[in-house]
Amino acid sequence: MTKTCTKCKLPKGTTLFRKVKGYRGNRCSICKPCEKEYRASRREDKKIYDKARCDSMRDEVNKRNREYYKQNREDRVAYAAKYLAENRDEVNQRARLRYHEDLEKQGEKRAKNKELNSKQRKAWRERNKAHIQTYVKAYQRKYKARRRRIRRESGKGNAEAALRRAAVLNATPAWADIKAIEAIYKESKRITRTTGIQYHVDHIIPLVSDVVCGLHVAENLQIVTAAHNLKKSNKFNDYK
């Protein structure tokens, strides 16, 4: 049994045509090699299409996760606190294990990429030499005063600031609306400026706590007076 391909116009055995239910003779009208060729020609377009689709879905998924966190924040926190209180040893043990596993994994990855990364970094530095120099000079001018101030302040303060930055980074999920977060910080500065009272942006559920850790997302931020913020410690139970 043969069938003529509508694309290459060659008669070929029917097994060289893909099965398609309900189509003429239950076989595709173009032969498998022709189909393959067609798919290859469309590959770049498909990549672009798939990426666009993935991007559009990502927005939706992030939005859903954001909504969920907003709707269920108190419940989730209460549940997590209860669970942690009842299973503290087990949770701690699990966290310890995970931490060490992650360390190992990161080490392997770093070792694998070490040579490649350093080569790439070096090439990039070569390519952008002039740009880097001007940038560094501008930066040094701009932050000279700031660096002096930081040096004046104690080493303890620096360490605390570094820990704080790491905690914020750690608590920012992929679905966080960065623009919304920035808007809240901006608004806090604006209120401080117009009222002359120092306002801070505060995490409703603290990022670092013994009981449960909040997220660095707009839904977990509030603008409070500095006085209120400094009174509040990083303990979830202290917040009411």
**Chain residues that interact with Zn ion, rule: CB under 5 A:** 5, 7-8, 31, 34
Closest CB to Zn ion among residues 5, 213: 5
Q: Does residue 189 contact residue 146 with C-beta atoms inside 8 Å?
A: no
What is the nearest approach in angstroms of Zn ion to the Cβ of residue 32?
8
CA distances for 22 relative to 27, 121, 221, angstroms: 8, 57, 58
Minimum separation from the CB atom of position 22 to Zn ion (A): 21
C-beta of 135: minimal distance to Zn ion in Å?
A: 57
Residue (32 or 200) nearer to Zn ion, CB: 32
Return the number of the residue (34 or 77) whose C-beta is nearest Zn ion.
34
> Which residue, 31 or 207, has its beta carbon nearer to Zn ion?
31
Say if CB 186 and CB 150 are below 8 A apart: no
Neighbouring residues of 219: CB distance < 8 A, sequence distance ≥ 6: 66, 69, 70, 73
Distances (CA, A) of 126 to 117, 118, 122, 133, 222: 14, 12, 6, 11, 45
Residues 225 and 196: beta-carbon distance below 8 Å: no
Nearest-approach distance from CB 12 to Zn ion, in angstroms? 7
The nearer residue to Zn ion, 32 or 232, going by C-beta atoms, is 32
- 204 CB burial (10 A radius; 0-12, 13-18, 19+): middle
Minimum distance of Zn ion from residue 3's CB (angstroms): 10
